[in-house]
Structure 1
């Protein structure tokens, strides 16, 4: 199993699981590990977080494929059907969101880094949720920070 282009693939023998299980498990917490067996097909050992991230990415990919197969409306309009929370965004933000999600998905698929697309999806969904809850640039009592500002610890 290839983790990403140019990165080495971690491979262990099945006997390593019995002789050095803590080491193999620690390695699998960081990245998937291919476990080779003499008597059967190789298996992949990975964290539940990694497996769930891959499942979320596949689900997101299925939604994007559905969006791209529809030829009615702009990308943002089609994506708003698949992701109704986008309707809380302004039309301009829907356009930005749609393009950002496609770009993040392409980056995730090409680098096998599931977190890129999932983080972008989560960020836009949380933004839409905040807007729907009445939080916006014009909300009284809120101070918005610029991208380069840092917040000191309390």
Structure 2
């Protein structure tokens, strides 16, 4: 049986009385656990916690990059993210712009996965380019070539 809830706040007593509902909610989104005479606590999955840490780390890097005035944004970001050097200058500029936009969207919507996805996508693209993928032109066949059935 799967318990799902959209509740975002629980009383601390519900942890012992109905822990399955509290934990199910915390697996899908952060929940606040209120306590009598104490500050509320936030319960979230380790995945969400890592995503928030990654966003803060990226934010610190982005602030350092954007407050520097030497070189272009792409050049400054390449210094912090050396994998960007595998990209063409045009792609470096596109990457820098997209990462800034994704960070703004993540902060505005409180969705850290937006910047994480953009960062991962660009990094994997740079790794593929560095490995030589995508630099060879594709050779397409101009005519149909019959292919037989595999033998059993």
Q: TM-score, normalised by structure 2?
A: 0.85
d(CA) in 1 for partners of 2:101, 2:9: 31
Cα RMSD between the aligned structures? Answer: 1.7
- Shift in Å at residue 138 of structure 1? 2.1
d(CA) in 2 for partners of 1:116, 1:141: 35
Q: 1:130 corresponds to which residue?
A: 128
d(CA) in 2 for partners of 1:83, 1:52: 19
d(CA) in 1 for partners of 2:7, 2:61: 30
Q: 1:82 corresponds to which residue?
A: 80
Q: Unpaired runs of 5+ in structure 2?
A: 1-5, 141-152
Report if aligned partners of 2:9, 2:32 keep a CA contact under 8 Å in 1.
yes
Whichever of the two has the greater Rg, that structure is 2
2:32 is paired with a residue whose SS is strand
Q: Give the alignment of 1:96-115 within 5 angstroms.
A: 96-115=94-113
d(CA) in 1 for partners of 2:80, 2:135: 26
